[in-house]
Amino acid sequence: MCGIIGIIGGRPVSHLIYHSLFTIQHRGQSSAGMLTYDGNIHVTKDSGLVRDVFNEDKKINKPGNIGIGHTRYSTAGMDDEESLKKNAQPEYLVNPFLAAVHNGNIYNCSEITHITERKPRTDCDIQWLLLPMADELYKKELNPEVIFSACEYVMKKVKGSYSVIYLADSGEKPYLFAMTDPRKVRPLALGKANGTYCLASETRVFKKINFEYVKDIPGGSVIVIDPKGTIYEKQIIKKQELPCMFEFVYFAKPDSRINGRSIHTTRQEIGRLLAQEHPAKADLVIPVPESGRRYAIGYSLESGIPIDEGIMKDKDERSFIQQTQEHREKVVEEGLSFLRAVLEDKRVVLVDDSIVRGTNIRKIIQGMKNVGAKEVHVRIGCPPLIAPCYLGIDMRSKKEFIARNSDGNIKSSDQIAEEIGADSLGYISIQGLKKAIGFEVCKGCIDFPDGYPPEMRDDVETLFKNDKKGMRAYECI
Listed in sequence order, the residues at least 6 apart from 149 whose beta carbon sits closer than 8 Å to its beta carbon are 136
Please provide the DSSP assignment of 45-90 as one string: EEES-HHHHT-SHHHH----SEEEEEEE--SS----HHHHHHT-S-
Q: How far apart are CA 73 and CA 1, in angstroms?
A: 5
Query: Cα–Cα distances in Å, from 364 out to 176, 282, 332?
Result: 45, 18, 8
**What residues have CB less than 8 Å from 302, skipping those under 6 apart?**
271, 272, 273, 275, 276
CA–CA dist 299, 290 (Å, integer): 15
Q: How far apart are CA 358 and CA 72, in angstroms?
A: 24
Given the DSSP bridges, would you call strands 347-352 and 375-380 parallel, antiparallel or unpaired? parallel
Pairing of strands 231-235, 261-262: unpaired
Residue 404 DSSP symbol? B
According to DSSP, the β-strands at 424-427 and 375-380 are: parallel
β-pairing, 2-8 vs 66-72, is antiparallel
Catalytic site residue from 2, 124, 244, 442: 2
Identify the CA nearest to 376 among candidates 283, 442, 253.
283
CB atoms under 10 Å from CB of 275, counted, come to: 24
CA distance 290 to 429: 22
Q: Is position 124 annotated as part of the catalytic site?
A: no
3-state secondary structure of 122: coil
State which amino acid sits at residue 257: R
CA distances from 172 to 31, 143, 168, 185, 217 (A): 32, 10, 11, 34, 27
**167 close to 100: Cβ distance less than 8 angstroms:** yes
By annotation, the residues acting in catalysis are 2
